[in-house]
Structure formats: structure tokens, C-alpha cells
Amino acid sequence: MGRWEPNAEGRLREAAMELFLERGYEQTTVADIAERAGLTSRTFFRYFADKREVLFVSSQAFEEPLVEALEATPAEAPPMAAVAAALDAFADLVGGNREHTRARQSVIDSSAELRERELIKLASLASALADGLRRRGVPDPQAGLAAETGIAVLRVAFAEWRDEAVERPLAEVMRASLADLTTLTAAAAG
């Protein structure tokens, strides 16, 4: 591929994933990724701050649709219903390609640095959801609790969806995990 061909960012992401799976994350350099994509290292750095970021969508691009879904729920909806709308938006964003998700997760699991980066991204998402709940009038600490609970549901449901043998839509798995949470909290209250 020539340097002038379109979709440089997509080519870099694809090349990086191939190399991470072939060689391992630690053994792959930015120069390797750029070369595989038919681009230069300089072009790589126009799109990504470092090789970790190839595996992660920018926080803003990821958070905005989730916060928008949360804020679009009716004003009278309980906080967890708004969080559920954000989880549905998450499922719409990432629930389309389970094989890619499995491959990406295997790369992340291979590196403490990447696992840490993923946790930072999830913490940022929880903060954005909590801020959205506060704008809806949910007081602290309930806004933080609902947002952090939503992220816990997201993590559990996402792992279940990614690893289960029978393929179901991610949104369905998310809703089942929320129902499990409701059952668990009802049992604790009773």
C-alpha cells in the first residue's frame, strides 16, 4: 500500500492488531506498525500518542454517545434506567464483532500496561456517567454509585458476552446482568 491511500488510521489499527497477535505487544514497535500499514512513524503519531492508543478509542469518541444516551432518557426515569440506556449505547458501539473483541482482549490481557490503560478508560467513563447523572439532578454519592455500578455491570456482561460459547447480542447480555443486579439488591434489602 502506498502512503497516499485512504484510511490511514484504520490501516494502522489493523496492522497493529496483526502484529500484536503475531509477535506480542511488547515486541512490536511503532515503526513495525507503520511499516506494516505502508505508512511512516510520523504518520502514526498524527493519529496516536503511542502504541497503546491503537487499541483504545479516544475517550471523547467513546464517552459522548453513552452520555448522550443517558441524558436522553426521560427526566423522571430512575438513575439506573439512565445508566441502562448508556449500557445499550455501549452495546451498539462495540457489540458487533466478537472475534475482534476476543483478539483485542487477548492482547490487553498480555500486558499489565494495557490492563492499566483499560481501567483508566473505564474510570473516565464512570466519571462521565456520574457527571451526566448529576446534571440530571441525581445527588452525590448516588450519582457516583449508579455510574460505578453501571461500569461493574458493563465489565461483567462484556466478559460474559465475549467468552460465552453461544452468541447472543451484547445488549441482551447487559440487560440480563442488570436484572441479576436487581435480584441481588432486592435479596440484600429483604
Which residue ranges make up each domain of the chain?
8-54, 56-189
Counting residues of the chain whose pLDDT is more than 70, the rounded percentage is: 97
CB atoms within 10 A of CB 130: 24
What is the average per-residue pLDDT within 105-118? 95
pLDDT tens by residue, 142-176: 999 999 999 999 999 999 999 988 889 999 999 99
Q: Report how far residue 6's alpha carbon sits from residue 133's, in angstroms, rounded to the nearest whole number.
A: 39
Q: Say whether domain 56-189 belongs to CATH 1.10.357.10.
A: yes
Tens of pLDDT, residues 41-86:
999 999 999 999 999 887 778 899 999 999 999 999 999 999 999 9
Class in CATH terms, 8-54: mainly alpha
- pTM of the complete model: 0.88
Please give the helix or strand (H or E) that residue 143 lies within, else none. helix 142-163
